[in-house]
Chain A
């Protein structure tokens, strides 16, 4: 991530204030991390089973991991974790410990099928039985983690062989037809036309499904379902494109929602390269229970860290519901919180695609300078993170000609402030799902700006004490003030009070709460243990 805007301090930010902002974010986040460490969710437990090799779904399309977790919860509850009860039942069913080298995943999948039929009773063993079940679970989960490790090495090899994009920012383009077999040629065409990162947007509402659909899918609403098979098909297709184009084409999907932990595992297993994963998006924008979200988020990020996946956070969303000038500091606060939670989960800066967006009303005087100030503030606060810069949506009016101009200015801010990932804006935003020609025109726009002004960030040094420096200082100051209020009252009460956006989200409300449990004393999760030990 070489860049030359980092250390110089183009904004002359007060280092004491920057340090204070980080410290406040840590203090705001820490109680939530403690909460996450003491709770589990059905999706965390299902992710553990996926790592242990459980695959497939029943004839109704409900995954076996869901059936198995539901069966364990019905017998012994969620508080002990499912690993020990499941592997204890497996030993009783099979009579002997599973021999090393055999297909444990298939055996546990079979157990899930029996459990779904009601022919298995789950218990919480104690003593030696518990220790041996725990050890068996740890071995099985270890196999899954090693598969993720192999996929990560494979990515490293392919990047060495085919290379990274020749320019920064990387060009990120969205594909979404609902049909994975239609998405594939579109994604390959987009890569050929210059896209470095392909994001397959999900079917609307998938984030609120409490299971991960199975198989290759050909129908979706305004997007394509995220499934393991769809991940695999698209990754294979983009591997072909990488070979053809001589650069590694990255693939992105979405973790956020009720199945964050499982999405993270599936993405790791299928070598996705980026995942949208925001610490608070599900709470604020999807009314998912806050505790559920924070527990799921932490586990999913631990898995992303292991898989070498770059997370993309969702600060753009704040600006689609709130004013991009008045609420600019909420973006900074969210970035700082996302950074804290990500670091705590083991993600290094290079895997932090912190988000922000070009959403200021273009009719506002000096809107472009304000955008520059905000984008540069993010750049300077997080010098080693591959920031994700997102295009205008709120003020795209359907006037495609004006929209194309706005996108050009968006691209210009992106290159002038050294952003890492640039989501290509479409002039037909707010009109139609992008047409072939819309994408082509949008990519021409990006190529023109990056070609004409790709090195402008070298020359772009805001005047000391000028508009841009002052604006950045103001936003940082407001962010610190807001963080102080959050630390005083607590992050969960702040979310409950509607501090972020206009929505109020109390900790005891929202979707997915019934899938959350506080750890019992004997709670055991081999995946968390192995991920935190780094083994």
Chain B
């Protein structure tokens, strides 16, 4: 815990500034390689830097672990993140608000778009099973969930949103090679803008482990959820925006502590891919 708005890394004493980094250099392991690692560490601001481990891998690569002290200061008052700007509700509260205020089921359409076949994220949010003991949106009685699954084309998504009279469209993007997640999201939001007038458009929400939550406006969507998002957060957000008369407009940036770190999204680089592909 820090006492003030300025902090620095903590090794085993307040203010010691100690960090640990590991990296690989494309050189065989010898004295020169170790010197090169220390030079890199110095340029990264580690002073003094201690090379604690080095090991050659294959023909021309060496792996290093370096500990060292950085002089950089972190100004907590200058940290900018998206803070949760809606109240977190229980499933019962979500259902109750929809029933009382909307008086019909709230329609949610979800999909992975583009070539992305990783349904892990959207399934974690939508499937009854949910994630980490928290049930997915299918579990909410007052939500009508349509999960289109993987590799849905944008026109199909727009058509499904229309057919289901979607109040909200949730899109998951895991694959980020060549910024596919950004291109796909822009294509998706543009298609909805073209297909439906303002006011008739569903709320557009995207999620994935590699999105910058601050980019919602730039990508033309209402909200971006990053790694570690739970179904309850998504449900609470939907109710806040669509039912409870919450603030309109894209998510605003707020100063303060970092968003809750997550641990549950999966990356594109899964070591095991089942029989998929």
How far is it, in angstroms, between the C-alpha of A434 and the C-alpha of B57 when the chains are bound?
14
How far is it, in angstroms, between the C-alpha of A323 and the C-alpha of B132 when the chains are bound?
10
- Nearest residue (CB) in B for A185 is B58
- Are the CB atoms of B268 and A321 closer together than 8 Å? no
Contact check: which of A222, A256, A425 meets B275 at CB < 8 Å?
A256
Within 8 A of B (CB), among A187-239: 189, 192-193, 201-208, 221-223, 226
Interface string of B46-90 (1 = CB under 8 A from A): 000000000101100101000000000000000000000000000
How far is it, in angstroms, between the C-alpha of A391 and the C-alpha of B276 when the chains are bound?
16
Within 8 Å of chain A (Cβ to Cβ): is B115?
yes
- Are the CB atoms of A193 and B58 closer together than 8 Å? yes
- Are the CB atoms of B275 and A312 closer together than 8 Å? yes
A-side contacts of B149, CB under 8 Å? 287
- Are the CB atoms of B275 and A313 closer together than 8 Å? yes
Task: Name the distance in Å between B8's Cβ and chain A's nearest Cβ.
Answer: 22
How far is it, in angstroms, between the C-alpha of A436 and the C-alpha of B61 when the chains are bound?
9
- Are the CB atoms of B271 and A429 closer together than 8 Å? yes
- Are the CB atoms of A399 and B263 closer together than 8 Å? yes
Contact check: which of A174, A207, A425, A437 meets B117 at CB < 8 Å?
A207
B-side contacts of A192, CB under 8 Å? 58
B-side contacts of A255, CB under 8 Å? 275
Interface string of A305-327 (1 = CB under 8 A from B): 00000001110110011110000
- Are the CB atoms of B58 and A276 closer together than 8 Å? no
Task: Name the distance in Å between A488's Cβ and chain B's nearest Cβ.
Answer: 24
- Are the CB atoms of A502 and B275 closer together than 8 Å? no
- Nearest residue (CB) in A for B261 is A398
Known contacts: A222-B268, A430-B265, A437-B24. The answer to whether A281 contacts B275 by CB under 8 A is yes
Contact check: which of A221, A424, A425 meets B115 at CB < 8 Å?
A221
- Are the CB atoms of B269 and A205 closer together than 8 Å? no
Task: Name the distance in Å between A215's Cβ and chain B's nearest Cβ.
Answer: 18
A-side contacts of B39, CB under 8 Å? none
How far is it, in angstroms, between the C-alpha of A426 and the C-alpha of B273 when the chains are bound?
12
Of the candidates B55, B58, B116, B119, the one having the most CB atoms from chain A within 10 angstroms of its own CB is B58
How far is it, in angstroms, between the C-alpha of A54 and the C-alpha of B120 when the chains are bound?
38
Within 8 A of B (CB), among A410-440: 423-426, 428-437, 440
A-side contacts of B180, CB under 8 Å? 221
Interface string of B22-43 (1 = CB under 8 A from A): 1110000000000000000000
Within 8 Å of chain A (Cβ to Cβ): is B177?
yes
How far is it, in angstroms, between the C-alpha of A429 and the C-alpha of B150 when the chains are bound?
21
- Are the CB atoms of A440 and B63 closer together than 8 Å? yes
Within 8 Å of chain A (Cβ to Cβ): is B203?
no
A-side contacts of B123, CB under 8 Å? 321, 502
Of the candidates A322, A424, A440, the one having the most CB atoms from chain B within 10 angstroms of its own CB is A440
Task: Name the distance in Å between A196's Cβ and chain B's nearest Cβ.
Answer: 17
Within 8 A of A (CB), among B258-277: 263-277
- Nearest residue (CB) in B for A281 is B275
Interface string of A44-85 (1 = CB under 8 A from B): 000000000000000000000000000000000000000000
Known contacts: A221-B177, A281-B276. The answer to whether A437 contacts B63 by CB under 8 A is yes
Within 8 Å of chain A (Cβ to Cβ): is B215?
no
Instruction: Give the bracket for the number of chain A residues in contact with chain B.
Output: 35 or more
Within 8 Å of chain A (Cβ to Cβ): is B99?
no
Within 8 Å of chain B (Cβ to Cβ): is A397?
yes
How far is it, in angstroms, between the C-alpha of A275 and the C-alpha of B127 when the chains are bound?
30
Within 8 A of A (CB), among B223-277: 227, 263-277
Task: Name the distance in Å between B228's Cβ and chain A's nearest Cβ.
Answer: 9
Task: Name the distance in Å between A361's Cβ and chain B's nearest Cβ.
Answer: 9
B-side contacts of A221, CB under 8 Å? 115-116, 175, 177, 180
Task: Name the distance in Å between B9's Cβ and chain A's nearest Cβ.
Answer: 17
- Are the CB atoms of B24 and A436 closer together than 8 Å? yes
- Nearest residue (CB) in B for A322 is B129
Known contacts: A222-B175, A430-B267. The answer to whether A391 contacts B274 by CB under 8 A is no
Contact check: which of A314, A322, A424 meets B271 at CB < 8 Å?
A424
Contact check: which of A193, A201, A357 meets B273 at CB < 8 Å?
A201
Within 8 Å of chain A (Cβ to Cβ): is B128?
yes
Within 8 Å of chain B (Cβ to Cβ): is A496?
no
Within 8 Å of chain A (Cβ to Cβ): is B14?
no
Known contacts: A204-B116, A393-B266. The answer to whether A174 contacts B177 by CB under 8 A is no
- Are the CB atoms of A429 and B270 closer together than 8 Å? yes
- Are the CB atoms of B58 and A189 closer together than 8 Å? yes
- Nearest residue (CB) in B for A326 is B129
Within 8 Å of chain B (Cβ to Cβ): is A178?
yes
Interface string of B113-146 (1 = CB under 8 A from A): 0011111100100011100000000000000000
Contact check: which of A285, A321, A393 meets B276 at CB < 8 Å?
A285
Within 8 Å of chain B (Cβ to Cβ): is A468?
no
B-side contacts of A226, CB under 8 Å? 277
Task: Name the distance in Å between A319's Cβ and chain B's nearest Cβ.
Answer: 10
Contact check: which of B175, B269, B277 meets A432 at CB < 8 Å?
B269
Interface string of B4-30 (1 = CB under 8 A from A): 000000000000000000111000000
Task: Name the distance in Å between B110's Cβ and chain A's nearest Cβ.
Answer: 13
How far is it, in angstroms, between the C-alpha of A440 and the C-alpha of B22 when the chains are bound?
13
A-B contact pairs, 7 of them (CB 8 A): A287-B149, A391-B271, A423-B271, A429-B272, A434-B269, A436-B58, A440-B55
Contacts A204-B175, A226-B277, A428-B269 known; 20 new A-B pairs at CB < 8 A: A174-B273, A192-B58, A202-B276, A202-B277, A204-B117, A204-B118, A221-B180, A254-B277, A255-B275, A287-B149, A313-B275, A320-B274, A357-B272, A391-B272, A429-B267, A430-B270, A434-B271, A437-B24, A437-B61, A440-B63
